[in-house]
Structure 1
Amino acid sequence: MTIHNVLVVDDSKTELLYLSDLLKRQGMSVRTAEGADEALKRLADAKPDLILMDVVMPGQNGFQLTRSISRTPMYADIPIIMCTSKNQETDRVWGLRQGARDYITKPVNPVELMEKIKALE
């Protein structure tokens, strides 16, 4: 599976712009969502090839949203990479247990992120 369409979920406009620019420079199409409700609307509109998920967001956090998406049959095959400032090993393990395929901490290293994306293809 080649990854072309990415949904970036983060409540920080700065982070959304940074990640969108990074991915677009790699030739990917990017849609963004600033929280769980908006992310679910974007999923209903068009299924992405990959979701980059922040953890700390108002309302439903990224762990909860990842669990919800990965347990919904229609979306369970979409890989999710947690992309968060939460850098404890327990957070990484918890994110993976919720259904994330990988976990990267902020500030995001562009080379590391692209390696993680390529490893999914």
Structure 2
Amino acid sequence: MSTNKTHILIVEDEAPLVELLRYNLERAGYRVSAAGDGEAAMRAIDEDRPDLVLLDWMLPLMSGIEVCRQLRRAPGTANIPIILLTARGEEHDRVRGLDAGADDYVSKPFSPAELIARIRAVLRRIRPALADEVLSYADLTMDLVQHRVTRQGKPVHLGPTEFRLLRHFMEHPGRVFTREQLLDSVWGRDVYIEARTVDVHIRRLRVALNVEGQPDLIRTVRAAGYALDAQGG
């Protein structure tokens, strides 16, 4: 099929969830197809190769893990990005999914906004040519080309470090990062900076984002670190 839109295949047997995902993904500008079981997914991928697969763990006929393994074994599909969707939240299950070849892992229930942000992050990392040049989360938008951030359509003025910090959060929404992880990712491993410096820049980022009293999108997790989370806190 000839189209410039990034094609996402949803492999999920719960029809209401498929329709919810389809609605939100099409609104975000993606072309969407769906398969209700593992065998149908393999046929669909043969007929119309997707750019990314959203793959439920628990499927009829063939499990999501087995679909993932088969895709990774075949040269023609080995590089298709895969995000596993599952109610399994324990660490050993996440490890199994990643070991089978998944690129990311989203536990149910999840928000469509978080899932779309994860999709964009995976595409940016694995298939850069397909990646959007605009990141979105909740009411935040970041234009990576024009180096602009808006919230509810109004400009947000950030310094270079706060911009990089926010970009990192928007590429990994909902994930908690320690100060040390943020230092490595945002400042670089070869730069020696006190971990408390992160707190200063988080504070500046919060002030810039919440200039009109909007809900705080940066969640502080005591004794752990920080996350971008629409629930705030």
Q: C-alpha separation between the residues in 2 aligned to 1:12 and 1:93?
A: 24
**2:93 corresponds to which of 86, 91, 94:** 91
Deviation per CA, 1:42-91: give whole Å up to 9, x if none.
Answer: 11111100000001112211011111111111001100000111111111
The farther-off stretch of 86-95 and 28-37 is 86-95
In structure 2, the gaps of 5 or more residues are 125-233
TM-score w.r.t. structure 2 length? 0.50
The farther-off stretch of 29-38 and 103-112 is 103-112
Contact 1:51–1:80 (CA under 8 A) maintained in structure 2: yes
Establish whether residue 35 from structure 1 lines up as the match of residue 37 from structure 2: yes
Contact 2:5–2:31 (CA under 8 A) maintained in structure 1: no
Establish whether residue 74 from structure 1 lines up as the match of residue 76 from structure 2: yes
Contact 1:52–1:80 (CA under 8 A) maintained in structure 2: yes
Structure 2 matches for 1:53-72, cutoff 5 A? 53-72=55-74
In terms of Rg, which structure is larger? 2
**1:16 corresponds to which of 15, 18, 23:** 18
2:107 paired residue number: 105
Percent identical among aligned pairs is: 36
In structure 1, the gaps of 5 or more residues are none
Letter in 2 for 1:94: R
Measured after TM superposition, the shift of residue 117 of structure 1 is 1.1
Q: Which runs of 4+ in 1 moved over 6 A?
A: none
Q: C-alpha separation between the residues in 2 aligned to 1:9 and 1:102?
A: 15
Q: C-alpha separation between the residues in 2 aligned to 1:48 and 1:41?
A: 12
Letter in 2 for 1:7: L
Establish whether residue 47 from structure 1 lines up as the match of residue 40 from structure 2: no
